[in-house]
Chain A
């Protein structure tokens, strides 16, 4: 077992936690330091999301990882009035949204820290994190704080 100060690994999951694939290992590793890395094809000079073994544009295999600014806008949004699974029951109603990041990729996430019905398409949001039970962090978004 890990040492007794590692409380995170002993924590119980409070939602479905994402598995890690070979291609996405760098992404999830970086979330431990609350950094959001985007897989970047060096041949096309463009973002690839979700992370995978080949660039879907050129099938190339040469990548670097670039840190995202964490700023984006809501592309689509839906308030869930019923839980998708029992682990989400205590969060109802909650927002699932597609967020378009400044870097041009679109990811699914939750928009938190505001009344669910206030979330609208086009709204600026910023990255925040929710700890997972194994020390990784899950990307979340909250309304952009002005100034």
Chain B
């Protein structure tokens, strides 16, 4: 918890955090303005969720790239490692810190939402489930980012790794269309890619439908990446 708190405070001191926040708000503002001028689209929360999804795919890697990489590069990892905290505490602290920042970021879009409420009449339940879906997706994205950050002391490499991975999860639904659906194996790959796509699982949330299979998708992948991060942290001891 101490780590998390420090992480959050230090994020607010780093220029990256403000750049991230600014970019995200700018992007969301543009999206929102775009939607406002298309009549009839305004109440379509689904569109907003879709655009948030693409925005977060760029933003989260920027947000998470330094979490471990910077500790390695600066040598502070030595200080953390020799403090009486376990690898698990360290990971949990970083994760909670990053999630907190992410939720603030997401919370900032409530500004847009408020406008939306003034102009249209969105369904509250649906709005809630949209945000829940985005928060769960954020959790998975943050876990992926943490994993890459724990692998390298180079922030750029960490950001690229998470971008590629998240890119796959974000676009695999679209990419799956490119696969010729002729043979069994291709069909299998096709459906696998659709399953892996974040969009597939976010869709129901944005319709206001809560489904445990989608919930387990996000939680499952978060857990997998967090666990892999844990393994990386443990194994780094052995170098």
The finding on whether chains A and B are genuine partners in a shared complex, rather than unrelated, reads: no
- Which residues of B does A touch, CB under 8 Å? none
